Amino acid sequence: MKIIHFADLHLGVETYGHLNPETGLSSRLEDFLNVLDQVVDYAVTNRVDLVLFCGDAYRTREPTQTQQREFARRIKRLSDKEIPLFLLIGNHDLPNAVGRATAIEIFETLSIPGVTVANRPAIHRIRTASGDIQIAALPWVRRSALLSKEDTRNLDFNQINERLQQILTRIISDQANKLDPVLPAILAAHVWVLNAKVGSEKSMSIGQEHMLLPGSVANPAFDYIALGHIHKGQVLKENPPVVYAGSLERLDFGDEQDEKGFYLVEIQNGTGGERKTSYRFQPVKARRFFTLKVDLKSDDLDPTNTVLKAIEARQAEIKDAITRIEISVPSAIASLLRDNDIRNKAREAYYLSIARNIQHEDRLKGTYSSLQGITPQDALRIYLQMKYKPEEAELLQKYGEEIIKEHAGRL
């Protein structure tokens, strides 16, 4: 039995993009759809038995009609090829009010052939071309659905988190006890497991989040534990495998060094009736992020040319990448930098940002070993000489001293 495990698609992230005039879509939306197409292509070409998605289909709780349409097109392609698809609800999929539908539930309402939507803890038995499999679902669950106000009265966050850990651990244990041992079984969970290395989800977290202990999810009754929510793909345990697929596309510079893709999981029956699980990471061609750092020296007579040479040396990495150029420049030569020349040299970047980190020389270093007892006039002079050119500092000092004298009785 061959299974694709992926998660955290986040359709709708459009930062660092632009409008494609030919399609009318954000170029970043097209990036995310491109990696999703690679998953679907792999599933169809290799005739996998099941595609397992572990939550966060969209960036927001209320995706646009265009985002929903494009996601539905990929789902329909899998359905047309009779490849079952399991959709787990993540925290970004949940509506902002209890009782409202998620954007994913429409596929369950329409009874799309082969599509299963899991919005509550339950065991699903799914028929595949290689036989039946059990999927124990643990979607992202609201705290209010597990704990009442009375339960959390007078508890701090750590105590509430501990109570949630106990409840979720019990849910997983109860599901494991209900499994048919003859059939292969997977736990699909959208959770934050303690000690997992985090990525770009740090900037996308919604509120304070509870965590589960690794031992809570690594129940030996499951052949494989498929996780979503953490954007950095990683294997937390080997036996049974506890695996975060990671986000399918890079979301920001927090993902710059991370390889993106999905896991291909294979479950085989052994000669003695036992089952063997193997898995491997399958990378996708995601949009690259690249940071170029340039440190300039105060005696550099042509700092722009120095930056241009640094760009030239890394041109292959800049091409088609979301690029940021971070220039550390002494204030004395900052005005010599020509942004237009720098942008033109890096024009092959998919997206380009230039950040200047201006280093102000402490021209008065050592003049005052202590600031205790310093007069307002002297304090102003030190500040102005550190921040401005001499002629500007002199003029500002003149006006500043007039204000200080005017208000001398209040200082």
Instruction: Name beta bridge partners: 26.
Output: 19
Instruction: Name beta bridge partners: 312.
Output: none
Per-residue pLDDT of 101-117, as tens digits, reads 888 888 888 889 999 99
Q: What stretches of 103-204 show up as alpha helix (H) in DSSP? A: 106-109, 143-146, 149-152, 157-177
pTM greater than the 0.85 cutoff: no
The answer to whether residues 317 and 346 touch, using CB atoms and an 8 Å cutoff, is no
pLDDT for position 409 = 59
> Is pLDDT of 12 > 90?
yes
What is the C-alpha separation between 303 and 336, in angstroms, rounded?
7
What is the C-alpha separation between 305 and 341, in angstroms, rounded?
9
Helix axes 27-45, 65-80, angle to 10 degrees: 10
Q: What stretches of 84-219 show up as alpha helix (H) in DSSP? A: 106-109, 143-146, 149-152, 157-177, 214-217
| Burial tier of 37 (Cβ tally within 10 Å: 0-12, 13-18, 19+) | middle
Among 34-48, 181-195, 218-232, 261-275, the least confident range? 261-275
| Joined tokens for residue 353 | 């940002």
Strand 322-330, strand 289-295: pairing? parallel
pLDDT band at 180 (very low <50, low <70, confident <90, very high): very high
Beta-sheet strand order (sheet of 185-190): 122-128, 131-138, 185-190, 224-228, 241-244, 234-238
DSSP string, 253-317: GGGTT---EEEEEEEEE-TTS-EEEEEEEEE--PPPEEEEEEE--TT-S-HHHHHHHHHHHTHHH
**394 or 251, which is more confident:** 251
pLDDT for position 198 = 87
The answer to whether residues 230 and 192 touch, using CB atoms and an 8 Å cutoff, is yes
| Joined tokens for residue 143 | 């705290």
Per-residue pLDDT of 362-409, as tens digits, reads 554 554 444 555 678 877 877 787 677 777 888 888 888 888 877 765
What is the C-alpha separation between 185 and 223, in angstroms, rounded?
6
Per-residue pLDDT of 291-342, as tens digits, reads 999 999 989 989 999 999 999 999 999 999 999 999 999 998 999 999 999 9
